Chains A and B, each alone.
Chain A
């Protein structure tokens, strides 16, 4: 029940901050931009590029799932940035201002406090991601070709895990540092590090969380969910839970001052 109380308070807070308005809208914008700009690429080149008279080249129309993947890439860059910046004050800001102490003076467990905040952010991000993917999917279907709705749902589920992983990193950083700016910066650094490590150690890290996107691409083009994707999903969930546990632990052992 305590969990629900903190969770509800966090939801109310996000509503007051307009997070429930602007985060979904930003994801929709990110989702729309790539199908549209890819579709209008020939016209854009024609009107701005100083091509010599008579020069023409064919731009092949990408297959539908490639366009959806472009939107995912957009979420991976700007979307992750927005999540990191949005969640950097999640706990750190409250510790700085003393609100956290007000909450924790009451018999609220650290684990409840941290996990409820994590859950509230996750719900917001997952809903936003769904809105963004839906927008992208609608435009892809309109302009490029068919992608089935079940594929969209699968993409949402697996890609959502990657974003939950990012939120978990952010919550963990929130427990380590008290300055929101530092939390945001370290979160982005850790996400980038994960991607770089996965690229460099590609042959060893077969199931790294950063591999979710490539496996989703494979799923979209081949139409089947590979075992690798499931394994990566499980690993990602595992690491996220580990990060949360670590966050609760450091939060508990650290002085609240």
Chain B
């Protein structure tokens, strides 16, 4: 695994991590502001925080209540 870490050019991977972070932060901001979500609100916090990449997307697609 250590070899893999060294062989990876991090400049290439950085954009992925940045995008993932932006998605997560935006989802969190929205999570704080929104009143109710589909399903328990606290559940969505864990989904956003724990599931990489997919978590925030799931939140935006399914979790946000269409008023």
Contact = CB atoms under 8 A, between A and B. Distances in A.
26 contacts: A17-B60, A17-B64, A18-B30, A19-B60, A21-B26, A22-B57, A22-B60, A25-B22, A28-B15, A29-B16, A29-B19, A32-B15, A32-B16, A43-B4, A43-B7, A43-B8, A46-B3, A47-B1, A47-B4, A85-B61, A85-B62, A86-B61, A96-B66, A97-B67, A135-B15, A180-B66
Contacts, number: 58
A22 B26 contact: yes
B53 interface: yes
Given A40-B8, A43-B4, A82-B61, A25 B19 contact: yes
Interface in B38-67: 53, 56-57, 60-62, 64, 66-67
Contact of A25 (B23, B62, B64, B66): B23
A28 B67 CA distance: 28
A32 B4 CA distance: 19
Nearest to B5: A47
Nearest to B53: A29
A98 B33 CA distance: 23
Given A18-B60, A21-B22, A97-B66, 5 more contacts: A17-B60, A18-B30, A36-B16, A40-B8, A86-B61
B18 to A, nearest CB: 10
Interface of A: 17-19, 21-22, 25-26, 28-29, 32-33, 36, 39-40, 43-44, 46-47, 82, 85-86, 89, 93, 96-97, 135, 139, 142-143, 180
Nearest to A135: B15
> 8 nearest interchain CB pairs?
A93-B66, A89-B66, A47-B4, A85-B61, A22-B60, A25-B19, A21-B26, A43-B7
Interface of B: 1, 3-4, 7-8, 12-13, 15-16, 19-20, 22-23, 26-27, 30, 53, 56-57, 60-62, 64, 66-67
Nearest to A16: B30
B3 A47 contact: yes
A95 B20 CA distance: 34
B25 to A, nearest CB: 10
A139 B62 CA distance: 31
A18 B26 contact: yes
B13 A36 contact: yes
A32 B15 CA distance: 9
